[in-house]
Structure 1
Amino acid sequence: MSTDPIFRTSPYQRETESRVLAHTPEGGIVCAASIFYPTGGGQPGDSGRISWHGGRLTIATTLKGEGDTCVLVPAEASALPPVDSLLHQELDWERRHRHMRVHTALHLLSVVIPLPVTGGAIGAGKGRLDFLMPDPPEDRDAIEAALNAFVDRDLTVSEEWISEAELDANPGLVKTMSVMPPRGSGRIRLVRIGQGRDHVDLQPCGGTHVARTGEIGHLRLGKIENKGKQNRRVNIALDI
């Protein structure tokens, strides 16, 4: 049993219809296809609404299920859509789009601060990366200016796929020390920012992203926190 990840191939799709494959013991819903991104890689699971003949539910979040399935988690206990029924999915688009903007911005932050990443988190309007950084950066304004320069260049954001063997041969593609790319399918998804002379970043990632950096909007650099002898946490936020 598997779920077709529409969120990966069509991240801007806000609605779809799909058959219910199963219910989980905890009261979740597994569908044949999903526009809802499941929690993973520091990005929260999507929320939204589902409806079917005779019922409607609010979805609080989405999780990874067994195998290659996505589990839609209702906001409250209620009657679930019957297995094999046709389900209409409607994404909380504003929240998802903010996740996409922040996620892409964090990729840019990893370019501006070219140090190993030890952790990260994405929110609906803000995010952070933890870096292997013994000393704090000397010029905060320069970091913020460099981030917004990448945004203003309106670089394209695209994806490509390589084999696991190709990734093993190019370990420098992996910037995050705490989260390794998922393996087992034989393929690894890469997210590229910029093309040709404008290329600035290429790294494994399974999350959702905007199509161009200009869509992120102006960014603000937040606190730079000391998280141990070797680690610094760098926070960023969307202006709007």
Structure 2
Amino acid sequence: MTLLFRDDPYQVEAQAVVLAAGPEGIRLDRSLFYPNGGGQPGDIGTLSWDGGNITIIDARKAEPLVERGEQVLHIPAPDTPLPPIGATVTQRIDWDRRHRHMRMHTTLHLLCAVVPGAVTGGQVGADRSRLDFDVPSASLDKDQIEAAVNELIAADHPVRERTITDAELDATPELVRTMSVKPPTGSGSVRLLQIGTDDAIIDLQPCGGTHVARTGEIGGITIVKIENKGKQNRRVQLALRD
């Protein structure tokens, strides 16, 4: 399967061919829909074809089909007609929701650059997002964190994906900031998200999610609250300003 969102996270519409269809989900030969994973929700949208149209209420990772690699399972709304196998469909994602997820996900990487400590959990949301940190200090300063993140946003740093080999990741374990989830390995390469230029990196760590092209596109955030979730565990919640 061709994962179109990896080549261009800004693409909103594309055609595809139906490989399989059932109430449990629809498989296509290529997909715009980001499947739920890495703390980022699956995309929603529609599929339309000659004689039909359905709403996709979720996208999830599915077991690979033989010789077709990674698969996305497009979950249809209950009790709706399914496209016939072999049909050409037009897929459209809910762009407003996807774009908010992109802005939020990139913001969480900036938060990693500002807050010390390993990440113990997190969730991307269209309205609110969060990261949990294992921090040695008893408290985090909400106003200082908000100002620092917004300064990085306003600087309009470039954001890009790059890859390294499994061996290179093993040699640089400090790239992995998460304690609860390890990046997938075994395919020979690992996708990284880099914020900043090669000679002035703001954040660099494994990530397979969708992101904006520059930090200025985020537009500004508010730190909603910081919660104590354990002896050294602090949850930082944030929201976009628009």
* Aligned position for 1:19: 17
CA apart distance, 1:222: 1.3
Corresponding letter in the other structure for 1:44 = P
**Displacement after TM superposition at 1:226 (Å):** 1.2
**What is the aligned counterpart of 2:38 among 35, 38, 41?**
41
User: How many residues in Structure 1 have an aligned counterpart in Structure 2?
Assistant: 237
Q: How far apart in 1 are the matches of 2:93 and 2:138?
A: 39
SS at match of 1:145: helix
The structure 2 residue matched to 1:50, chosen from 42, 47, 51, is 47
Tell me the distance in 1 between the aligned counterparts of 2:10 and 2:232.
Answer: 38
The corresponding residue for 1:173 is 175
TM-score (norm 1): 0.95
Is 1:80 the counterpart of 2:78 in the alignment? no
Moved more, 207-216 or 136-145: 136-145
Q: 2:137, 2:79 → 1: CA distance?
A: 49
Q: How many Å separate the matches in 1 of 2:141 and 2:178?
A: 23
Report the identity percentage.
54
Contact 1:5/1:35 (8 A) holds in 2: yes
Q: Is the 8 A contact 1:136 1:224 kept in 2?
A: no
Determine if the alignment matches structure 1 residue 147 to structure 2 residue 149.
Answer: yes
* 1:53-202 equivalences in 2 (<5 Å): 53-67=50-64, 68-202=70-204
Question: CA separation in 2, counterparts of 1:184 and 1:218?
Answer: 37
Query: Structure 2: 5+ residue runs without aligned partners?
Result: 65-69
Q: Which amino acid aligns with 1:32?
A: D
Shift of 1:225: 0.8
Per-residue CA deviations over 1:103-153 (Å, capped at 9, x if unaligned) read 000000000002100000000032100000254435221111000000000
**Does the 8 Å contact 1:155/1:198 carry over to 2?**
no
Residue type matched to 2:113 in 1?
A: V
Letter in 2 for 1:5: L
SS at match of 1:199: strand
**Partner of residue 10 from structure 1, selected from 8, 11, 26:** 8
- By percentage of residues, which structure has more strand? 2
Counterpart residue identity of residue 205, structure 1? C
Deviates more, 1:62-71 or 1:175-184: 175-184
Find the partner of 1:213 among 199, 212, 215: 215
Deviations 1:5-60 (A, max 9, x none): 10111100000000011125x43000010000000000000000110111100110
SS at match of 1:65: strand
Q: AA paired with 2:153?
A: V
Report the Cα distance in structure 1 between the residues aligned to 2:25 and 2:138, rounded to whole angstroms.
Answer: 44
**Corresponding residue SS for 1:131:** strand
Q: Per-residue deviation at 1:178?
A: 0.9
**Distance across 2 between alignment mates of 1:123 and 1:135:** 27
Backbone CA RMSD of aligned residues: 1.2
Supply the distance in 1 between the matched residues of 2:21 and 2:185 (Cα, whole angstroms).
26
Name the CA distance, whole Å, in 2 between partners of 1:173 and 1:59: 35
Q: Distance in 1 between matches of 2:81 and 2:145?
A: 50
